[in-house]
Copies of this chain bind each other. A is one copy, B any other.
Amino acid sequence: MKHARVFGVNCFFAFVFFSAAALALAQESAQSPAVSGEKAPEDQLKMQTKKIGLVIHGGAGTIERSKMTQDREREYRAGLERALAAGYEILKQGGASLDATEAAVHVLEDDPHFNAGKGSVFTSAGTNEMDGAIMDGKTLSAGAVAALKHVKNPISLARLVMEKSGHVMMDGEGAEAFARENGIELVDQKYFFTQERWDALQKIKAMEKHRTGAAGKRIPITDQDRHGTVGAVALDKNGNLAAATSTGGTTNKRPGRVGDSPVIGAGTYANNATCAVSATGDGEYFIRATVGHDVSTLMEYRGMSLKEAAQAVLDKVAKLGGTGGLIAIDREGNMALPFNTAGMYRGYVDPNGEYVVEIYK
């Protein structure tokens, strides 16, 4: 069952104009009914020579329909749409993929529904610690941050680390001191409190107690309770790819745990020669499988398509025992959004500029 939602004029004739990018949409199940306004052939040509593209995700996991009210689903969809709009507006105006991915992730960080920034999950100590990264496919420049406690928008600090620190990766208090020096907004940990995330921590702690032998009933823990991540990948009109990822990590993680998001080559990777990738899921498995770089090298060294490479790497993650998903885009504008969980909050802009947002398989 498809849950694609399309904004704009629907026109079935537009099918014939669908570019290769749309046809190559990686997720087999995502043969979305997305259609678009009719375009003149010359417009199509222009679009093909200066293709732009944007894909985002808001985390993969056991997203249970039974627990998803209509209101709640509407809120998630609205958040994803806002993120798409923020990023796509930049691309449409000829802006850089780097700016587009940062803008999209920024919106998701500010939305309490997603596990990043404001909506970050809690560590076992009841604190919030955030990771993130951004990478520029043109120069292979990258910025990554880990174990941040007070940075309102980790993705913007990652960008700053890339551009001004002389380093690629910074963490903890050192990273926050650098943020302070450079006017990045710091907030009290209270800012990151959301009742839902707090309840998820209590649920997992109760479950742990149960597991270790103490009395208590079995409490179902969904992936949704455990983790989540937000991310964006984009192609701009100059053919430059970029990837950005931000996360609060996993609920009940040990303080100091760093996931795959800030590990360049794992949760975040971009290379103009191949693709841009942002991952979400059991971070430990995604690090061990070097997910982002593996998608890239399967394309570059093995000649796989983006879709084949993305699926092959996700299969490797599954073989190790990990669940999750990833989003990817290549220099032709082909997109891939595979996941091996029940759902993944995700969205993309189709070749005709329509926003498509999906949650379930």
Binding site for B on A (CB under 8 A): 123, 129, 140-142, 144, 146-147, 165-178, 253-259, 263-266, 269, 283-284, 287-290, 293-294, 297-298, 301-302, 320
Contacts and interface: CB of A to CB of B under 8 A. Distances in A.
Given A297-B301, A298-B301, A320-B140, A256 B287 contact: no
Given A265-B263, A290-B293, A172 B169 contact: no
A167 B265 contact: no
A265 B293 contact: yes
A174 B173 CA distance: 12
8 contacts: A141-B288, A146-B169, A147-B174, A168-B284, A172-B256, A177-B255, A264-B266, A264-B290
Contacts of A169: 146, 257-259, 263, 287
Contacts of A294: 293, 297
A277 to B, nearest CB: 12
B165 A254 contact: yes
Contacts of A253: 167
B301 A254 contact: no
A314 to B, nearest CB: 15
In the complex this chain forms, how many copies of it are found?
2
Given A142-B288, A290-B264, A174 B297 contact: no
A188 to B, nearest CB: 19
Of the candidates A165, A301, A320, the one having the most CB atoms from chain B within 10 angstroms of its own CB is A301
B167 A147 contact: no
A256 B297 contact: no
Given A146-B146, A263-B263, A264-B266, A170 B254 contact: yes
Contact of A256 (B171, B289, B302): B171
B168 A171 contact: no
Contacts of A144: 258
Contacts of A289: 140
B264 A264 contact: no
B293 A264 contact: no
B264 A288 contact: yes
A261 to B, nearest CB: 11
A5 to B, nearest CB: 36
A171 B262 CA distance: 12
A100 B290 CA distance: 24
A190 to B, nearest CB: 20
A293 B259 CA distance: 18
Given A178-B254, A293-B265, A293-B294, A287 B168 contact: yes
A320 B146 CA distance: 24
Contact of A170 (B177, B256, B264): B256
Given A265-B265, A290-B293, 6 more contacts: A146-B258, A147-B171, A173-B255, A264-B266, A265-B266, A297-B301
Contacts of A255: 173-174, 177
